[in-house]
Amino acid sequence: MHLIHDANMPAAETISFEDFLKVDIRLGTITEAELFPEARNPAFKLRIDFGSGVGIKRSAAQITDHYTPEALVGRKVMAVVNFSPRQIGPVRSEVLVLGFPDSEGAIVLAAPDLAAPNGARLA
């Protein structure tokens, strides 16, 4: 999947609220983060705890420009938890961690500014 990171692009096509509800975005805490040297582009392998309802999931995330593995452990992140898993080299990525590109295209993680429990669904 290739995402376009152009901040000057117009909004995507209109969808219904029912379509939006199909995307399950949850809050989780990163419990493990390590370099993913086999990836084509610099990335980390993550394990994220989404609470008892969703459980612990794995992800491969290209977020190496602004973050280190040590800084990621314990950090809250938002992720889509109901996409089909993708095989990325030797890693089965089960969730898509969400973020926004900065002015250079490096990803800045999306996260709440106040405390919320693991597994909370975006409302």
Report all structural domains of the chain as residue ranges with CATH numbers, in order of start: 21-109 (2.40.50.140)
Give percent above pLDDT 90 in the chain. 91
Q: Can you tell me which residue has the tokens 């977020």?
A: 63
pLDDT of residue 31: 98
Nearest alpha carbon to residue 73 among 107, 95, 49, 106? 49
Name the residue type at position 29.
T
List, in sequence order, every residue forming a beta bridge with 78; answer none if it has no partner: 27
Q: Report strand pairing: 107-109 vs 99-101.
A: antiparallel
pLDDT of residue 1: 44
What would the pLDDT profile of 34-48 be if each residue is shown by its tens digit? 999 999 999 999 999
Residue 122 and residue 106: Cα distance in Å, rounded?
A: 24
Calculate mean pLDDT across residues 63-82: 98
Residue 79 · residue 95 · CB < 8 Å: yes
Calculate mean pLDDT across residues 85-104: 95
Our CA angle for 78, 84, 89, nearest 5°, is 90
3-state SS class at 87: strand
- Whether pLDDT at 3 is above 60: no
Q: What does pTM read for this prediction?
A: 0.92
pLDDT of residue 4: 59
Mean pLDDT across the chain: 94
- Whether pLDDT at 24 is above 90: yes
CA dihedral 44, 100, 122, 42 (to 10 degrees): -10
